Structure 1
Amino acid sequence: MRSTAGSMTPTGTATEPDSAGRVRRFSTAERMVHRATGYLMLLCLVSAACLYIGPLALLVGRRHLMITVHEWSGILLPLPLLLGLLSAEFRADLRRLNRFAAYDRQWLRAVRKRRTSPEARPAGKFNAGQKIYAGWIAGAVLVMMFTGLLMWFMGLLPFLSRTSAIFVHDVLAWAITIAVLEHMRRAFEDPEARLGMRTGYVSRSWARRYHSRWLHEERDESSDEK
């Protein structure tokens, strides 16, 4: 029986995935943007925890270093996305994330009614939940940068108080932490999705089950090219 997970070399390294059983989901540029953004986000959240959670602050110490790491990881957070704009595949996926279709509303209704069948939850390359998460996290990061810069350079907007900036920054930081942890939990529950982000390929059966509209789009594009 042919494996759809790709063959293995004697050293245990995965070779090129079997094209008959798999479909390309993410380009190298997209995977690098996701990985770099994830590392910067984790640095930002962990350094914040070392600053604001008492026991962690005592354990780690080096407060000045943690402040520097937190500030610069936050400032650099949008950089992978900006570099990713050089990739046509990345720009195409941004357009997909920014477009809400009728079947996305059907997906949300199915989630609300706890329907799990693929027919009840149609999705393109990204489902409605992923689109909402991407939009929300992008907006939240911008607000965090704005409030962080206000705290760093208090003379930037003198009519805004430091207390207000700190309050918004701290509350949103907890919201982002919860959202990122939920994102990671869902990723760990779906090994195929992680494989797609790690190797760029997913099985056609997985894509057919969770992203059937995307497979139709891929077939239509292939037909147009021919």
Structure 2
Amino acid sequence: MSRPPERATARPRVPRFTRAEHWVHRATATLMAVCVLTAGCLYLPFLAELVGRRALMVTVHEWSGILLPVPLLLGLGSRALRADLTRLNRFGRHDRQWLRAALRRRGGRPAGKFNAGQKLYAAWIAGAVLVMMGTGLLMWFTHLAPLVWRTGATFVHDWLALTVIVVIAGHVWMAYRDPESRRGLRTGSVDAHWARHEHPLWKQEEDPTR
């Protein structure tokens, strides 16, 4: 009687994100997608004609923008999320080395749990959201400022929105090229070999004595 084939040993995995971080990212991404789609319905004629109901699109766009920071604010109750925000706010020598290597398309890109590109994206999108909210409020509540301010707010809001769409598209493209990174956000863990290769300083970052 032949023996059944042995099951392949599962590759070791390491925890990367908690469930709270997963839901903060998903909720934020959903609200951002609603903002972008409703903005398209307001500014692109063919979408405006296809969807119609401009007043509804304006209301949904306004409220999705106002609610955008809420998932992150609620997620601050998670110790893991607060620790990751601290990591994202730290930019060290190895991050500058990572950027130089990335710009020159070379290997040898040292990174902790987050690489320099992810840190720059997080900082930029956070600042952009704050500016978008400020200019959006000036456009929404017309009594808050004189006409010249509202005109300037509209200009900044519209052009920054276009930039945000381009940057988010780049972020999605980079995530598409790295399935293990996406799996880590979806399942909470990543392949140990991937972690050592893509984020070699991650372990040292968690335990500075190593």
Distance in 2 (CA, whole Å) between partners of 1:102 and 1:92 is: 20
SS in 1 for 2:14: strand
SS in 2 for 1:55: helix
- Identity score, percent: 61
Q: Is the 8 A contact 1:107 1:127 kept in 2?
A: yes
Distance in 2 (CA, whole Å) between partners of 1:103 and 1:160 is: 45
Structure 1 counterpart of 2:124:
136
User: CA-to-partner distance for each residue in 1:75-110, whole Å, 9 max, x for gaps?
Assistant: 000000101111110000000000001100100110
Distance in 2 (CA, whole Å) between partners of 1:159 and 1:152 is: 12
Structure 2 counterpart of 1:162:
150
Distance in 1 (CA, whole Å) between partners of 2:86 and 2:149 is: 37
Instruction: Indicate the structure whose relative CO is greater, using CA pairs within 8 Å and at least 6 residues apart.
Output: 2
SS in 1 for 2:144: coil
Once the two structures are superposed, the pairs formed by residues 166-185 of structure 1 within 5 Å of their partners are 166-185=154-173
Distance in 2 (CA, whole Å) between partners of 1:93 and 1:157 is: 37
Distance in 1 (CA, whole Å) between partners of 2:149 and 2:178 is: 44
The count of corresponding residues between Structure 1 and Structure 2 is 203
Aligned partner of 1:109 among 68, 81, 100: 100
TM-score by length of 1: 0.87
Aligned partner of 1:39 among 2, 13, 30: 30
**Partner AA of 1:201 in structure 2:** S
Shift of 1:216: 2.7
TM-score by length of 2: 0.93
Distance in 1 (CA, whole Å) between partners of 2:147 and 2:203 is: 52
Matched, 1:53 2:44: yes
SS in 1 for 2:190: strand
Shift of 1:113: 1.4
Point out where structure 1 has 5 or more consecutive residues left out of the alignment. 5-20
Shift of 1:159: 6.8
Matched, 1:2 2:22: no
**Partner AA of 1:125 in structure 2:** K
Distance in 2 (CA, whole Å) between partners of 1:161 and 1:104 is: 38
Structure 2 counterpart of 1:71:
62
Point out where structure 2 has 5 or more consecutive residues left out of the alignment. 1-7
